Every structure is written in C-alpha cells, then in structure tokens.
A and B are shown apart, each in its own frame.
Chain A
Amino acid sequence: MRHFHSQRTNVPTLLVAGLVLIATSCKKEFDTPPERTIPTGNILTVAQLRDTLAANGGAAVHFSTDMSVYCTITADEQDGNFYKSIYAQDGTAAICLRLVTSGGLYIGDRVRIYLPGTVLSAYQGLVQLDSINVDNNVVKQETLVNVDPLPVTLDQIQDADVNQLNGWEGRLVRVDSVEFIASEAASLTWSDAIGQTTVNRNLEDCNGSPNIIVRTSGYANYAAQPLPTGKGSMVAILSRFGSTVQLYVRRYGEVHMDGTRCPGQGLPIILKDFEDLSITSGGWTQQAVSGSVPWTASSFGSDNFAKINNYVGGANNACETWLISPSVDLSGVATPVLTFRTASNFTGPDLQVYVSNDYDGVSAPSSATWTQLTAALSPGSYTWTPSGALDLIPYIGSNVHVGFRYTGSSSDGKAYELDDIKISEN
C-alpha cells in the first residue's frame, strides 16, 4: 500500500491508468460464417423426375444421392390461394412442390432443387415433390423468368386420367371464353373468407363441355370478392384430385371475365331460394285473401324452401294465400322465363301460378289483372319437380309480378314446398 503515499499528485494519473486498464473491449464482432454450398450432381428434367415415380412402380421415391432438377416457379403463396404447395415447370413437364415451411419462392424464380431429402410421390393421382426445405434444398438461379401459359379448352382437360391430363398436369394454362355457371356467378364469392375453408366453383364454356372446378382457398386475399359475372379468360394451374380436374387461380389479376355470357346461360334477373329462411326478403310479400294459413320458411336436411299447408290444429282450414314477387323490370329482356320447383303431398287443389303487369305490390291480388301460367307440379309424396321454363315474353314490361296462389278448403288441401323461383333470360 506504500505507493498510495502521495495521493494528491497521483489522483488523476490513477484514474486515467485505471480507466485504460479496464478499457479492454468485450464487444464481440462476429465472424460471418463461411459460405456453404449445395452440390449439384446429376441433372434431371421435370419429365425425367416424374418418370422416376412410374419407374418405382408408383411407390414413393426417396432421394439420397446428389441430384438436382431445374425449373421455374409458376404459382406461389403470395395471393394466399396456395399454402405450402406450389407449382413449377420446365420445358418438359410441370410438378407440384410441397414445402416443409411456407414461403420463400415466388412466381418467376428459376430454381435448382437439390433432391436429397425430398420425396417424390403421388397424392390422389397428382405427382408431387414433397418435403422440400426451401432453405436447404433450393438455390435460386434467376428471378422474373416469364412462363407463358398454355392455352387449353375445357374439353381438352375434362378427364384427369387421360395420360396425366395430356401431360399437362400441374401446368400453367389459360382457358378462354369461359364463365362461372349462372347460379354461382349470380351471387357467390370466390371462396369462404369467413370460415376460411376451401370452396369449389364451376366453370363452363359455350360449347356444352363438362364443367371444370375452380378451387379457391378461404385464405386467398380475394376470397370474399364476388365471382366475375361475365365470360372471358383465366390463367390457372391445372391440377387434379383423383379423377377430378381442378383449376387454381395463381394471381387474381389474371382473371379477365367481363364479356357477354354464353347464349342461354344468362344470370337470373330475380332469384328466390329461401336460403336465408326468409319468405319476404328481397321484396317478396304474402297476401292472405281468406283464412290465415301463411307461407313459412322451412328446411329439410341442408335445403331451405317455402312451405304451406292448410292442415293446422288437426283439421283442414279453408284459405287462399298468395306469395308475390317484387316488381321486376323485364323491359330490356328479350326472352324471359320463369322457373321454380315444387314438392307436395296429400290431396287438394293445385298450386296456381300467375303473372301480372299492373299489380301495385301492396293491395289485395284482386286489385290487379293476373294471367295464369301452366307449370309442371309435384305429383305428391314430396317429390321435387321442376316447373319447366314458363315463357314470360307475352308479359314483358317494366312492372312484372309473379304470384303463387295456394288454396285449401275445410275438407282437403295439399302441403306445398316451393323453392328456387327464378326469372332469367332464356
């Protein structure tokens, strides 16, 4: 302790010396790890890769020796329609890629996939390269590589089992002059954005080809958008589930369907399907001319419809009750038709269908002029029966109502179920 003798003079020196002594930095500068490379090995085309599955008798192929395949990503997860399952192709063929973790590959990426660790298999007929770890199996070569979609018709792609969709399985395709079927295009969205389940919609063309499914995830960022109502083109991935062909849109912006629909496939001008279990939604009204037997919403299984029955309280009740549509403007429609379906049971007067051009929408039916139409009706036993197309051309006008008149007496009366009332252009 002797050296602390002359403290006064030593103070600053001591402090400085002390600070210098302890100024050995312990801030770590980290080395960057050395580059690690993925070997290439034998190079396969996508077609050759797919062939190895057949060569293995269809059993899953586990790759262990160095091998790579080059291909270009044609569908990615960006729009939300694909999740951990994307598509790629080269000049020879296309394939579904299953990722271990979501993300990291984008449309237009030309990649080398190092095969060891991945597994080639088929799921419901679809050949897929599975267990791809993007971080470990994929090396990107180039970005923004353009791949032109292959133009195909619905007819050409209807059968999934025909030689792997003509060799197009997983390909990026474009279908032209197609539209969603009228019943879906009229009111449905692409998918179920609320429940986030995956939904099928049906695509048709004007040639009567079989419909093809367009399948969309509830996570697609356009899931809640209404389906396009017109006819046009769509770029999609051609895929399959067993023998069912499925199309998957990869970019919402590649759907251009706003042209005029196919003849005879017009959208309904009015549609009442009772799915909301409401009799009066959409402007429908009921008029009790006599008695008090109303139309009520009813269901059987998952189907909802309107029902009426005058057998109430253990007896038939005399009644006359109308179900009347809102006013429909048919003035611009060339060939309007009315369709609906019925199911009935028991005996009594038939349901009657009327049309009017001068009903005011609120008064008693007797205040207007009604013309009865002839429709096919249910023969009984609750057999659902389509009405056939009821021609409305003679009644074209700006204020058209259709009415369903149910009558029953104190001694008899049928039970009627009524559904899918539709006025559309024929």
Chain B
Amino acid sequence: MTRSSAHRPHCRLTRATLVFATSVLPVATLLAQVTDTTGSAADTARAELRAQLPVHTVTASDLESELGSQDISGILQSSRDIFSSTAGYSFGPARFRIRGLDGENNDVLINGIQVNDPEAGWATWSQWGGLNDVTRNTEIRTGNTASRYLFSGIGGYSAIDVRASGMRKGLRVSYALSNRSYDHRVMATWSSGLLKSGWAFSISGSRRWAEEGYVEGTFYDAWAYFLSAEKRLSDRHTIGLVAFAAPLRVGRQGLATEETHLLTNNNYYNPYWGFQSGEKRNARISTDNKPMFILRDDYQLDDRTKLTTSLHYTFGRDGVTGLNWYDAADPRPDYYRYLPSYYTVTDPAYASTLTTLWEEDPAARQIDWDQLYFANRKNLFTVQNADGIAGYNVTGDRSKYIVEDVRNDLRRMGVNAVAVRNMNARSDLTAGVSFIDHVTHNYKLVDDLLGGDFWVDVDQFAEQDFSDPSVAQNDLGTPNHVVREGDRFGWDYDMHVRELKGFAQYEVRWSHLELYAAGMLGCKRFWREGFTRNGRFPDNSLGNGDMHKFLQYGLKGGAVYKFSGRHYVTANAAYLDRPPQPRNAYVSPRTRDEVVPGLTTEKVTSADLNYVLRFPRLKGRATLYYAKINDQVWSRSFYHDVYRTLVNYSMSGLDERHTGVELGLEANATSTITISAVYAGGRYVYTSRPLATITRDNSSEVVAQDRLIYLKNYRVGGMPQTAAALGVKYNSPKYWFVSLTGNYFGHIYLDPNPDRRSAEALDNFVVDDPQWHDLLDQTRLDDGVTLDLFGGKSWMIQRKYRLALTVSISNILDNTDLAVGGYEQLRYERTDVDKFPPKLGYLYGRTYFIMLGLSL
C-alpha cells in the first residue's frame, strides 16, 4: 500500500540570516543558525539535542586517569632500586605505570593499614598530599613479593610508616617555588624523637597553592596537617595515634581534541574555564577533605612474636563541580558543533569565520559565564504542583545553567591485626586478619544557580521520551522538586562495601636459598542503598539493593637463589581470584540497582623472574614478567549515535595480558660520577573477545545483547608501554650534586572504544572502505623524548643547621608535543570516525621545582 508522500519541514531557515545575526554568545549562536535544511538531517539534529544533554559517568578508570594527570603520586619517594625510582620520578609524569598495572594491583599502607579504596580499588595519594616530610619512611616493593603487612597485589606495595618514634628529631621548614600544578609550597615539620617519658610526637603542616597553575584557568589550593603521638608503655608495648588530612581545592584541566589544540596553538588548551566579570573562573573544581585516624598498638608477645593491631577511621568529602543545563544550548565551548571542523564541508565560509573567532577571541573558546547569568536571569517559569504539593506553584527565574557539585563522600572504619612469629633461626610465620566497613555516599548538590532562582529536579531526557511526567522525576518522593543552592538533587545513594580478609605467610632462609609462600582467603560484599525513588526505575532505585557476595582467595610463592651476596636470582608466582571492584560492577548506579551481566570474580595469574646485581660499583636488576587478568567487567554510559540515545554499555569477559622486561643498571664510573640506564619494554594487550550488553539509560531496555567485541590483541591504552632513560649524575664531595636524565617514551596507545570494534559497527563496510580502518585501527600517539635536570646543594650552618637547596627542571627542551594520555571518545559515528576525534593530554613543557629547606 502506498503512503502519502512526506513533506519537507514546514518551517525553514533562510541562509541569509547568518549575515545579520547578532550575538552575545558568539560561537554558540552563530553555529546553531546553520541548520540542516533537509528533513532527515533535521531529524539527526534533533537526535543531537539529546546528545548534548549533560551526562554524568564516573568510572574507575576515568577518575584514575584524571587524577593521574593532576596529581603525581607519592611514588616519587621511591626506593633504592634504580628501576623503581626512575619509573616513579622520571616516567611518572608521562603516566607510565610499572608493568602497565592499575592502582588496584598496588597496595598502599599507612602504619600497616591498607588505604586502597575498597569501592574503586586504588589508593588516593592526594589524601596525604603535602605531607612529604612525614611520609618519607616508605618501603616500596614492586611486583609479586612477600609482605609482612598483607597479601599484596601483583603490582607490589608501598608501606608508609608514620610512627612518631621513627621520625627524625628536630624541626624542618621548607619553601618550594614551582610552575607545575602549584607555584608555592611551604612546609614545616617538628618531631620530638623518643622522649624520656616514653612519648614521641610529630607534627607537620603544609600549604601548596597557585593562583594559576601551568595550565591556563587551573588553580591549586591545598593544605595538609598531620599529628602523630606515640607512647611507649613498656619495652614490649607501644601505642600510637595518627591523625592527618589534606584539604584540597583544585581547578582542573580538561582534555581536548587536536583541533582545539591547533586552533588555540596551545596543547594545554583548557575548556573548563571562562571569564566572569573579567576574572577567570573554572567550572571543574575538585574539593576534597578526608581526614584519617589510625590507632595502632604494637605488642611484643614474647621474644619471638610481635602483634600489631590497628583501628582506623576515615571520612570526608570528595566532590567535583561541573556545568549542568536544562533545555538550553550546550555551554561547553569545545562542544563539537562549535568547532570549525563541523562546517568544513557544509559551510566553508562559516567554518573560516569560526576559525578566526577561535584563534582571536578568548571569549569564543572559553565558557561565557556572563552569558549564562544573563540567560538565567530572565527565564521566568512557574513550577506547578511544586515539591509534589497539589496547587503549590513556584514562580521565578528557573536556571538554565547551573554549577553542580557531584559528590562521592566516604566513611570507612576498619580493624587490622598482624602477628609475626620468628619460628626459628631460619623461618618466620606471618598471619593477619582485617575487616573494613566502607560507605561511599554519592549525590549531587546545587553549587551555584548562576543568577537564577531555582532548578527543578527532573530528567530532561525522560521528559522528552515519555509522555507520563512522573517518569522524568528524579525523586518520586518529592515530585517537581524545586532545589536551590546547597540542595541535593539528581541522585542520592550509598555504596556499601564490607570486606573480611585473612592471610598467612611462611618464609624460610638458608645460606643460598630463600623461599616464601603465602595464602589469602576473604569475603567481600557490596550493595547499593538508594535514598530516592527514581521515576524511570520506581521498583529498583529506593532502599537496599541486592547484596553481591564474593569469595576471594590468593596463593603465591617465590624463591631467591643467591650465587653470592653480590648477585642472585629470584622468581615469584601468584594466583588470585578476586571480586570485581564495586565501582565497575553497576550498569548505572545513579539510577538503579542493576549490575553488569556476567559479573564474576577476576582471575589473576602473575609471575616474574629477576636477576639482581649488588656490586659496590654496579647495581642493577633485570626482570621478565607476566601477568594475566581475566574475566574483568567494564561499564560506561555514553551517547550512542546508532541508537540515538544515552546508553549504558557493559562488557564482561574482558581479559588482558601484560608481559615485558625491566632493566635497570647503575654504575659508579668514578667516585663522583654515576651512570644509570633503565629500560621498560612492555606489551599490554587484550586477549579476549568480551561480550557487550547495551541498555537504554532511561528504561534499561536492552537494545543489544551479547554483542561480540573484537578486542583481541588491541593494546591496553593510556600509558607508554615502552620507556627508557639514560642518566648521568655528578656527586661532588663538597655537598652538591647534579644529574641529567634523558627519557624516551614509546608505544603509547589510546584505549580502544569497544563498540567500534564490533561487526555491528562495520556493518556494510568492506575492507577497502576507508571507514573499515578508521573504525578498527587503534590510535597510537607519537613517541617522544624529554630531558630532565636535577641538582642540589647543602650547607651546614654553625654545625647545627642544615640548609639544602634542590632544583629540578623537567623537560628542559620544552617538548610540548608529547601527548601521553587521552581517550578515544565513546561516542562515534560509523561513517565518519573523525567527527568525534580522541581527546588528548600533553606532558607539561619545561617546568621547575626549586626547594630550599632548613633542618634544625
């Protein structure tokens, strides 16, 4: 049967309007006037509306990569192993990760307490940032290793000892001048040493700040304070309390596409800021303050047995702000429709107008805060039946644009006990048990209404998709909720995690051979507890969700064979069956209690073989390693252009393999000159074809199931897989030194967008089509070289005081073209992959860090 022919759209834009457009928000305004003129294109444009709505997805690796870019971890304080110290100090800024392993494989301990976040897996080093003076006593072990603190992960562990009695007695003050994330750092620390009364105290505090950091529009404002008190009750018994916190407020940097880098001629272009009344304002501000308290008891049961028991508690806020908007134009300056490339084909003249605007007008390429206020202040609106009260109408300016604060507040308590018994002259037995009760409270607050009177807590996607207005409510308990600054909205739920673990380890030594074996058994459970009933998911959003319980266990062992005290070989192997990280396990915890299909434990196998040299003038290590992590899950939310909707994308059965070599060699060429060489050659690849499930974010309707993702042999992205360094250091007998290190980074890949690697994405393309390779090829970033200088001198004053100056200049050659991280956008268009190009982050150019310290 024939259908009546469709007409073209009934209203149509005249192209001449462009010329006469006036605009206060130049880019946003102009661009939207070049509207598609065909019916189908207009429909596409319509779909676009949904795509530009604010989307919130916080996932483990997103957060990690963001943090990693802004907060170089404390691995800086590395051990004596030349490989580990170079990896931390010289490779760290390039996002190098030892063996390519995530933070969840590296355990961090403070006074024996594991401080990895049990929801996300990794430890947040910024929680004690700025306490460098008191976190110096750190024992770092890389890879599979024995540990007398816990059953450590396959990446190794860092054990920070902050007991007051171990701190060097005296006062130390220092000032540092830098041009990295912060410009200034002041720090003061005083430690009493062990007093005759049996007490020991240590206090430390610092402040780090920058009005504007290395990247335009960023700022840094961090404090830190620390108190440790310890009392020796008897020869056998010591008790100590530690309290510290590092309140931090940081204006962040956003990654951007190459097009924006070229337009602004700045690889550090930051889309997160804009002018407000002439001042720079950043929309993405992280604010953290998570104090931690540790009470520790060390008890010598007998001559051979030591028991360490700890209680710990941490709580506080962790949040990052961002723009949100309702029924209005996307306020982000780098939205792809505001870029010239979007018009290159359809309207070259406009593309060139935009190019000029981007190149010359900072207001056009940054957030226009004044315009947001302007729009909000005259958007008169009446909320009918506000707050669910029939007949209660609220009239005022409804904010179109707001700044919201996305919070992940936490509270965690735990208890830990470890006993070490010296069985005989040859052997030791360690056994420990730990319990953690952790809660992350996830919610959003209205941070700034930007001149408007209120915001209404409804979901704009759902408003468009469903004719039933209750579906759009984020909180059915308070429909049409009128929220103001400080009010909660959007979502509100707790993620509960409880974990009980026990481990035992046996070590035995002979003159040429040492062996150890360890085992771990534990149980981890987690569940979501919703505080609001979501209109899309009224039946599985409120209250306690399903509890997910996982048994976990691990086994490992190793051997050291000493040819002599000067050189030896070691070998280690481990197998772990561990629970998925709760943060990765949910499809969309913001709205509902639903876990990724196929959720199961991860199976981890790891082994390494090392040859270690310890000659007086030649030290080094060569390592071969292997790690396999199977059955991982992966979950993200993004706008899918084929389904034209926001989807939750989950994969299960994701396997990866990390293999490679580590070489580190340090030679004393003369009594004053040391030469070091380090090489890390890794190959980190996905080894399975995971299955993806795609659901609509709005309705959990499954739009694709068991989609096979062809990820085999793609490289794991986000870090250099190859890195090398060659350094020379001159150590003057006159208390000064200088070192020069050249670094090479290679095999840097972006993590593959899984959906692009599916038969569905390739549908109808043949191998000769350009799209075939555009979709499939993995993005590899250019290799690069940097040069770092490090020097220092110290003076003794009146034989009492020690004054030390250190100068570190990184990337002396000012190589600003070394992209070291980024991601392939998950949103993509099959026919034109370049429409949503990757976003990249670059290594800082030349930076310095100069510190003057005085010890009394």
Contact = CB atoms under 8 A, between A and B. Distances in A.
Contact of B6 (A7, A14, A199): A199
Given A62-B20, A140-B379, A85 B29 contact: no
Nearest to B469: A78
A106 B674 CA distance: 74
Interface string B376-388: 0111111010000
Nearest to B401: A135
A329 interface: no
Interface stretch (B136-144, B366-374, B411-419, B554-562): B366-374
Contact of A140 (B29, B380, B801): B380
Interface string A205-224: 00000000101011101100
A275 B1 contact: yes
Interface string B1-35: 11010111111111011001111110011001101
B43 A197 contact: yes
Contacts of B658: none
Given A11-B171, A15-B188, A101 B276 contact: no
Given A27-B249, A78-B463, A202 B4 contact: yes
A333 to B, nearest CB: 24
A28 B209 CA distance: 13
A33 B21 contact: no
Interface string A179-218: 0000100000000000011111010000000000101011
B211 A102 contact: no
Contacts of A376: none
Contacts of B35: 84
Contact of B29 (A62, A96, A136): A136
Nearest to A1: B797
Nearest to B396: A143
B798 interface: yes
Contacts of A177: none
B378 A139 contact: yes
A31 B281 CA distance: 11
Contacts of B488: none
B266 interface: no
A30 B25 contact: no
Given A7-B856, A85-B11, A200-B4, A119 B173 contact: no
A202 B4 CA distance: 9
- From A116, A134, A199, A304, name the one whose CB has the most chain B CB atoms within 10 angstroms: A134
B714 interface: no
A18 B45 CA distance: 58
A131 B21 contact: yes
Interface in A230-262: 239-241, 244, 246, 252-253
Contacts of A134: 328, 375
B328 A101 contact: yes
Nearest to B395: A143
A123 B6 contact: no
Contacts of B793: none
Interface in B91-133: none
Given A135-B329, A202-B4, A302-B2, A26 B277 contact: no
Nearest to B189: A15
A131 B17 contact: yes
A397 interface: no
Contacts of B328: 101, 103-104, 134-135
Contacts of A275: 1
Contacts of B463: 78
Contacts, number: 224
A35 interface: yes
Nearest to B325: A103
B8 to A, nearest CB: 7
A136 B377 CA distance: 11
B524 interface: no
A130 B17 contact: yes
B13 A131 contact: yes
Interface string B53-81: 00000000000000000000000000000
Contacts of A252: 467
A219 B464 CA distance: 8
Given A117-B20, A124-B12, A106 B381 contact: yes
Given A101-B329, A130-B14, A15 B190 contact: yes
Nearest to B28: A101
* Interface range, A side: 35 or more
A221 B16 contact: no
Given A4-B856, A136-B22, A139-B378, A215 B188 contact: no
Given A31-B276, A101-B32, A239-B10, A197 B20 contact: no
B484 to A, nearest CB: 15
Contacts of A198: 6, 9, 39, 43
B522 to A, nearest CB: 42
Contacts of B801: 1, 4
A56 interface: no
Contacts of A144: 382, 384, 393
B46 A135 contact: no
A104 B399 CA distance: 10
A128 interface: yes
A373 interface: no
A98 B13 contact: yes
Contacts of B281: 28, 30
A196 B644 contact: yes
B729 interface: no
Nearest to B797: A1
Contacts of A23: 207
Nearest to A10: B171
B190 A26 contact: no
A422 to B, nearest CB: 11
Contacts of A83: 42, 45-46, 49
A196 B43 contact: yes
Contacts of B329: 100-101, 103, 135
A34 B14 CA distance: 35
A303 interface: yes
Contacts of A219: 43, 46-47, 464
B467 A222 contact: yes
Given A33-B369, A98-B13, A100-B32, A143 B381 contact: yes
A253 B469 CA distance: 12
Contact of B10 (A34, A106, A246, A420): A246
Contacts of A102: 49, 327
A1 to B, nearest CB: 5
A217 B42 CA distance: 11
Interface string B345-384: 0000000000000000000000001110111011111101
Given A11-B171, A126-B10, A117 B205 contact: no
A131 B10 contact: no
Contact of A143 (B22, B23, B29, B380): B380
Interface string B509-543: 00000000000000000000000000000000000
B814 interface: no
A363 interface: no
Interface string A66-107: 000000000001111001110000000000101011111010
A142 B22 CA distance: 25
A298 B601 CA distance: 54
A273 interface: yes
7 contacts: A4-B856, A78-B463, A103-B400, A139-B378, A143-B381, A197-B40, A246-B10
Given A31-B279, A221-B467, 7 more contacts: A18-B188, A19-B207, A28-B219, A60-B17, A100-B329, A141-B380, A200-B4
